[in-house]
Amino acid sequence: MRTIKGPGIFLAQFAGDTPPFDTLAGLAGWAAALGYQGVQVPTGPASLLDLEKAADSVDYAQEFAGTLAENGVAVTELSTHLQGQLVAVHPAYDALFDGFAPPHARGNPKARQEWAVNQLMLAARVSRNLGLSAHATFSGALAWPYMYPWPQRPAGLVEEAFAELGRRWRPILDAFDAAGVDLCFELHPGEDLFDGATFERFLEEVDHHPRATILYDPSHFVLQQLDYLAFIDRYHSRIRAFHVKDAEFRPDGRAGVYGGYLPWVERPGRFRSLGDGQVDFSAIFAKLAQYDYPGWAVLEWECALKHPEDGAREGAPFIRDHIIRVTERAFDDFAASGVDTARNRALLGL
């Protein structure tokens, strides 16, 4: 067993236009002052890291890592959530997702997808240049508009959607394999990979690619009413990243898992700051320690009620207090009597 690394924090919800949130150094120093040891860094247009430059220049990549280190944190993983979303977009969402792309690719789905794929390819090289072992992303979605089986889905529709998803991601997975980096899909409603069943279907399409792994986030499973602890038992060998994010689900006579188009604050299922929701993090950290999870515990802050800076301030000690420093010996070693084959046979009556 090994001790989980952390606490870390995902910077996507905090990067902004005012100090200290407007520069990499400012964000890193702010995070370190709160007690975080690592930061998960979003990439993309106007991001904190120039992917193309970092892919071509090890010196630039190391300068990026050096800025973080000088301010007291390490990089846990890079994130291409927004670019991954654009690898596969159903036309119903073209207008909504165009904003994730740079201006030159907007209004042109083919150019947008090509840009997104190139971003992932660059991210594989940058992750290698930074010495990282995991990368966080979304899968995108072609079948999501047909998630509910009404009207009845035509035979083969879902199969073709996942076959195409596999075709699009296979070369990206191969690039990450060449870089020695796991590609961790955050299983998330709105993506075609949103639970264990859809992840299994995707694995079949990519021949169980060794780099097709999971970013585990229990909050999305609470909102789906999926057993997030049993999920770890089933898929722990593929879990390579971890978002520590809380949620609650309080159904009533008005709305349930679909949310009734209500705003987040009124939905039965909603995200909460750490400790304010219903997720059993003690059990999660125990299972991840039991299964020798190799990565970081990273706060992704989202909450319908609490101010983000309060959530960030509370998150570091919450994660730190849940990380289990794993034992190097069995608790009952003091009573061990050694191995004596003859005696054991005698005790068994043999």
What integer pLDDT is reported at residue 334 of this predicted model?
59
Instruction: Region of 122 please: left (phi>0), alpha (psi -120 to 50) or beta.
Output: alpha
pTM: 0.95
What integer pLDDT is reported at residue 39 of this predicted model?
98
* Helical axes 58-70 vs 109-129, angle rounded to 10°: 70
How do residues 75-86 score in pLDDT, each as one tens digit? 999 999 999 999
- At 78, phi and psi to the nearest 5? -90, 160
- Judged against a pLDDT cut of 80, whether residue 337 lies above it is answered with no
How do residues 211-229 score in pLDDT, each as one tens digit? 999 999 999 999 999 999 9
Give dist(CA 52, CA 64) in Å, integer.
13
Mean pLDDT of 173-184: 98
Instruction: Sort 267 into a burial class: Cβ within 10 Å, 0-12 / 13-18 / 19+.
Output: buried
Q: How many residues does the chain have?
A: 350
Strand extents, DSSP E, 235-338? 239-244, 246-249, 269-272, 296-299
SS3 call for 297: strand
Quickly tell me which residue has 């299922």 as its tokens: 269
208-232 b/e (C-beta count within 10 Å ≥ 16 → b): ebebbbbbbbbbbbbbbebebeebb
CA atoms within 13 A on the CB side of 160: 6
Q: CB under 8 Å to 109, separation ≥6 — which residues? A: 89, 91, 94
69 contacts 105 by C-beta, under 8 angstroms: no
Instruction: Sort 271 into a burial class: Cβ within 10 Å, 0-12 / 13-18 / 19+.
Output: buried
Give dist(CA 105, CA 108) in Å, integer.
6
Give dist(CA 78, CA 24) in Å, integer.
13
Strands 38-42 and 239-244 come out as unpaired
- Judged against a pLDDT cut of 80, whether residue 284 lies above it is answered with yes
* DSSP H or E run through 74: strand 74-80
SS3 content of the chain, % helix, strand, coil (to 5): 45, 15, 40
All domains of the chain in start order, with CATH = 5-347 (3.20.20.150)
Q: CB under 8 Å to 36, separation ≥6 — which residues? A: 7, 8, 9, 73, 299, 316
Residues of the chain above pLDDT 70, percent: 98
What integer pLDDT is reported at residue 205 of this predicted model?
98
Mean pLDDT of 145-165: 97
- Predicted confidence band at 340 (pLDDT cuts at 50, 70, 90)? confident
- Predicted confidence band at 347 (pLDDT cuts at 50, 70, 90)? confident
Taking Cα atoms as reference points, which of 39, 104, 121, 118 lies closest to residue 72? 39
Give dist(CA 39, CA 62) in Å, integer.
15
Q: Report the mean per-residue pLDDT for the chain.
A: 96
SS3 call for 137: strand
Mean pLDDT of 49-70: 96
What integer pLDDT is reported at residue 339 of this predicted model?
84
My answer on whether omega of the bond before 210 falls inside 30° of 0, hence cis, is: no
What integer pLDDT is reported at residue 45 of this predicted model?
72
CA atoms within 13 A on the CB side of 157: 14
